[in-house]
Structure 1
């Protein structure tokens, strides 16, 4: 047996800051680490260790990959809105018996001075949005822009690493940039484009929270899309260190 095959093989379902930080934390340890990326960004920043890009073909495809590559631990560190992948991970874990941990960053909580409205989906957000403002910083990801394409009277600003594909709202300005962004960056963006409402998913964590701070300071309302449901019975951690403890067989706190 090769030295690589003898080591525990951790498959991280990634694409988030936490997934990258976990791969970095495990890089010097006793693990073989593979991070799987969805492939939605043309030139992703690759984490340490091995990487694979693209889908698996559902829970059964993921289970086959786990078995074929002798994965010993599965960590779902996908975006909180990657609902399908999280359910596929739970299904694959059930099929293979490989232990599964969901690394999920805590959601955001309104602070004093926030003016938040909640929606349960992008479609609901699109229905509510016209009553909140006319110059929108749409920070929900480029994959869901088609949901807002019918809002012909609303002006949208979108910031993404890659240019979004059609269909998109007709009055759309795209800023190509890669985060993280500071509160100063976000203040300048909101002021320069005269934004009067921010739309965002409840991604949670600190990496994308500065836009919320900037909106609060400017008195701009925020339309927040709530997170989708997650699989039941999956053990969860909310930090990279907790995930390391889980791998080491320690109890999560």
Structure 2
């Protein structure tokens, strides 16, 4: 049986990892997507869509499909998925790693908060025209801000309830610095609200806010489950996998047919 790597995906890094692994002969790679985006980007290797049914469901899938290694490359804010993956890997006895790009370094006019609810309490003190760049989920936290105007950008239409004064921009990145400057100027934005997702793809909005001297409210990412340490890039995961996956033609004792 070939070694089998399951990637919990949905990020740029997960696609890069799948591409690197799918090119290796004698290695099976499956990327699992949550299915929250109707048109996900192309992914190399096998793809499955949808949940597993919690810890027990994922542990059962790992055993049934003889998974050699599990890589959690989900979004840094996918807290429940990360916790379930860690426990399922422990139950199934499958080596497990977390791929997380590093967060952003704090800037002078950044206001770190612990949650979207805390961000909503802070926003009225900073401005009245807000670029809300936190994704389509969780916007309920801002629904009670009746004196604030929001511009919300999302790949998919956000779910109600939404703030009463809210303009929705459906768009898929990446966005350039000039794109972000144009958006902030056109909508006369005076506050940016975002999550600390890290990475270069979404950094231009931060550079644009800095250029225009706008305050930025940043929701801090949740911590990892106890005992887990994140690998910061695809290269780090590939190095880790080199110590986990048996050489071609061999198999681990409990994975042999």
TM range (shorter): over 0.9
Instruction: Look up the SS of the partner of 1:15 in the other structure.
Output: coil
Structure 1 unaligned segments of length 5 or more: list them.
1-5
Measured in 1, the distance between the counterparts of 2:48 and 2:163 equals 33
Deviations 1:59-78 (A, max 9, x none): 11110111111111000001
1:92-241 matches, within 5 Å, as 92-111=88-107, 114-241=108-235
Answering whether residue 37 of structure 2 is matched by residue 41 of structure 1, we say: yes
Measured in 1, the distance between the counterparts of 2:229 and 2:159 equals 36
Measure how far apart 1:121 and its partner are.
0.7
CA RMSD of aligned residues (A): 1.1
What is the TM-score normalised by the length of structure 1? Answer: 0.93
Q: Residue 11 of structure 1 corresponds to which residue in structure 2?
A: 6
What is the TM-score normalised by the length of structure 2? Answer: 0.92
Instruction: Look up the SS of the partner of 1:244 in the other structure.
Output: helix
Structure 1 residue ranges, 4+ long, deviating more than 3 angstroms after superposition: none
Measured in 1, the distance between the counterparts of 2:30 and 2:175 equals 28
1:78-97 matches, within 5 Å, as 78-97=74-93
Structure 2 unaligned segments of length 5 or more: list them.
245-257
Measured in 1, the distance between the counterparts of 2:114 and 2:45 equals 37
Measure how far apart 1:110 and its partner are.
2.3
Pairing partner for 1:23 from 18, 28, 31: 18
Measured in 1, the distance between the counterparts of 2:9 and 2:211 equals 32
Instruction: Look up the SS of the partner of 2:147 in the other structure.
Output: coil
Instruction: Look up the SS of the partner of 2:61 in the other structure.
Output: helix
Instruction: Look up the SS of the partner of 1:91 in the other structure.
Output: helix
Measured in 2, the distance between the counterparts of 1:237 and 1:204 equals 14
Number of matched residues? 243
Measure how far apart 1:55 and its partner are.
1.1
Whether the 8 Å contact between 1:100 and 1:234 is mirrored in structure 2 is no
Whether the 8 Å contact between 1:100 and 1:235 is mirrored in structure 2 is no
